[in-house]
Amino acid sequence: MGAVFQAAGDILGGQAGSQAANAQSQIARNNAIIADMNARDTLAAGDVAETAQQLKNRAIRGSTKAIQGANGLDVNSGSAVDVQQSEAKLGALDALTIRSNAAREAYGYTNQAEDQRAQSKIYRQQAKAAQIAGFINASATLLGAASSSGDKYVAMKNSGGGGGAAGEPGGLESFANATFGF
């Protein structure tokens, strides 16, 4: 009788392991969703910051041009134009740096999402394996008990104790009592 309970415990243990792995799989899927959202949010924030930087650059160039004009410089020629072009290039570089940093951060989140999706698949496989293992362990338990019972019956029979009919001393009933605790 103990083998039956052990087999049932093996099956329940496999189911519990499967449920735990499925829960981990769901957590990993949720983490992947969050990482994807973070990637999108990072790109959107990068776009906003890049636009803000471009507006700031235009304001700086306008201010520089106004200062040059107020100081009597020809704002459309010579070094005044060179200064304006340098400011434009530096401003564009700042905006591109913001875009690049946002893309790099978003790429990191995208990689995290892919890692989490892969981990989720691994957990799903573990869930399937845990269930199968529970049934295999239960089968092994029952087969082991049957084999052990057969060995005990043969030993009892060889010792002269197993020849009686059911209900007689040394019969099948006493074998069942000795083996299964009936």
> In terms of pLDDT, which residue wins out, 92 or 167?
92
Q: How far apart are alpha carbons 82 and 32 in whole angstroms?
A: 49
The model's confidence at residue 170, banded by pLDDT at 50, 70 and 90, is low
Minimum mean pLDDT among 56-65, 66-75, 89-98, 139-148: which range?
Answer: 139-148
Q: Which two tokens mark 149?
A: 């019972």
Region for residue 72 given its phi and psi (left: phi exceeds 0; alpha: psi -120 to 50; beta: otherwise): left
State how far the Cα of 161 lies from the Cα of 179, in Å rounded to an integer. Answer: 14
Tell me if the pTM is above 0.85. Answer: no
Q: pLDDT per residue over 103-123, tens digit each?
A: 999 999 999 999 999 999 999
For the record, the structure tokens of 160 come out as: 């002269």
- The residue among 162 and 153 whose pLDDT is bigger is 153
Whether the predicted pLDDT of 136 surpasses 70: yes
- State the virtual CA torsion across 10, 12, 18, 23 in degrees, nearest 10: -140
Residue 170 gets the label, from left (phi > 0), alpha (psi -120 to 50) or beta, of: left
CA–CA–CA angle 120, 122, 125 (5° rounding):
110
Measure CA of the first residue to CA of the last residue in the chain; give whole Å: 8
